[in-house]
Structure 1
């Protein structure tokens, strides 16, 4: 079920609005670098909710989950206290087990941070597991590749 907390779709992108809070910043009002990883996780989770596949449903239905295998972050421009940002997310299924996620943190059309994350699907035993076809097709909603 989608709601305003799960963001919105714009073309092939999922958008999650986010406001920088005091807890996100250092003493100078600049966003602490590690918080961008949390913002990215929120963006990925919100995109799944928007598609109708919250993490809990994926775990309960298929007994699988996504784990981060690799993450690359390019910090371009800092975000500051009380700024409104957008977390822009796309998914690229690479194969039956891996998905690449591209995310940009945007402030008024300017890219502040760019993240490239590789997710791996695993089962309860934490070994690689196949992503169901149904879920792969849904992830393509937010993909530039058909």
Structure 2
């Protein structure tokens, strides 16, 4: 997967016992949970809370596609960082590139496509201009923008 430079957002995660499997390593699905939390916190840092978007604007972001690559194992008590980048932006779709790091080691990489959905109609809708502007200002300079 594409190696990025300056991330749009960094989110710290500590590996707890509940995050590990029988072998004592981070259970594979938990990397996706770490990435979900990081996207949510990044959106919050931009001034957009998901609950408020649904209640006030009738909008939700729905995961459409995930590509994941598991590179190394995280273990109990690891201090990890999830780096999030905006890789692409379309009318209703945003593609995030996310990397889970342990110090300078890459453990996990993903590309997650989310779609902005009108909650009441259950259909894709355009990403609102204010959200688009905030996210576009964080667009990875090495990726394409589909505006």
TM-score by length of 1: 0.87
- The structure 1 residue matched to 2:130, chosen from 124, 134, 138, is 134
Which consecutive residues of structure 1, in runs of 5 or more, have no partner in the other structure?
1-9
Which consecutive residues of structure 2, in runs of 5 or more, have no partner in the other structure?
none
In 1, are the aligned partners of 2:7 and 2:83 still within 8 Å (CA)? no
SS in structure 1 at match of 2:32 = helix
Aligned twin of 1:44: 39
Output the CA distance in 1 between the equivalents of 2:7 and 2:102: 19
SS in structure 2 at match of 1:28 = coil
Pairwise CA distance, 1:118? 0.6
Please give the root-mean-square deviation of Cα atoms over the aligned residues, in Å: 1.6
Output the CA distance in 1 between the equivalents of 2:7 and 2:20: 31
SS in structure 2 at match of 1:144 = coil
Alignment of 1:1-146 (within 5 A): 11-124=6-119, 125-145=121-141
SS in structure 2 at match of 1:71 = strand
Work out the number of aligned pairs and report it.
Answer: 137
Output the CA distance in 1 between the equivalents of 2:8 and 2:32: 19
TM-score by length of 2: 0.87
